[in-house]
Amino acid sequence: MGYLMFKHAHMAMAFATLALFVGRGLHRLVMEPQTVGPVQKSFNYMSYGVDILLLVLGLYLLTVWAATDAPLMWVGTKLIFLVLYIAVGVFAFRPVLPKPYRWLCFSLAVLLWVLMYKTAKLKVPFWQWFG
Ligand code: HEM
């Protein structure tokens, strides 16, 4: 019972992080705010909180899985997608690249979220998805 509750909390945080990423990203790319207002600040803090919870819950789920004989290669590939997601997310948010490249990074980040989701659902590394 406890484990399922943590797993559903982890899943809820995964959707929350995507919603916050898309909202904050579109705001920065479309509105191009020059200053960080109080609303933007509170969404930023909300996003940090959600991400910390998502990762802590994920690590807890991993400790439970690690105590079984189940193969864990899929978790490794999910973490690689996570590192790439964070990296392209940073470039989508910061105005260091020209706008079209920032849009590309934004789209790649959303694609990487989908790859993480698919990996979590199938529980096999991506090279085994198609048999
Ligand atoms: C530190 C990072 C993470 C770790 C260690 C981790 C670990 C895990 C583990 C071990 C499970 C298996 C739970 C189970 O089915 O019993 C799981 C499930 C899941 N994870 Fe993560 N996760 C992490 C980050 C993420 C992220 C960033 C996403 C965003 C897409 C995500 C989405 C999911 C989903 C949707 C499930 C449930 C899949 C299902 O229905 O069975 N996880 N995670």
Which residue has its alpha carbon closest to ligand 1 atom 20?
Answer: 120
CA 49 – CA 92 distance, rounded (Å): 20
For the chain, give every domain's residue range.
2-128
pLDDT at 51: 98
CA 22 – CA 16 distance, rounded (Å): 10
pLDDT at 131: 82
60 CB burial (10 A radius; 0-12, 13-18, 19+): middle
pTM recorded for the entire structure? 0.94
CA 106 – CA 100 distance, rounded (Å): 10
| Centroid of ligand 1 to alpha carbon of 24 (angstroms) | 23
**Residue 13 pLDDT level (bands cut at 50, 70, 90):** very high
Give the pLDDT confidence of 19-72 residue by residue, as tens digits. Answer: 999 999 999 999 999 999 999 999 999 999 999 999 999 999 999 999 999 999
Report the pocket of ligand 1 as residue ranges, CB < 6 Å. Answer: 7, 10-11, 14, 54-55, 58-59, 61-62, 65, 75, 78, 82, 113, 116-117, 120-121
* pLDDT exceeds cutoff 70 at 73: yes
CA 56 – CA 22 distance, rounded (Å): 22
| Centroid of ligand 1 to alpha carbon of 43 (angstroms) | 23
| Centroid of ligand 1 to alpha carbon of 96 (angstroms) | 31
Whether 78 and 116 have beta carbons less than 8 Å apart is answered as yes
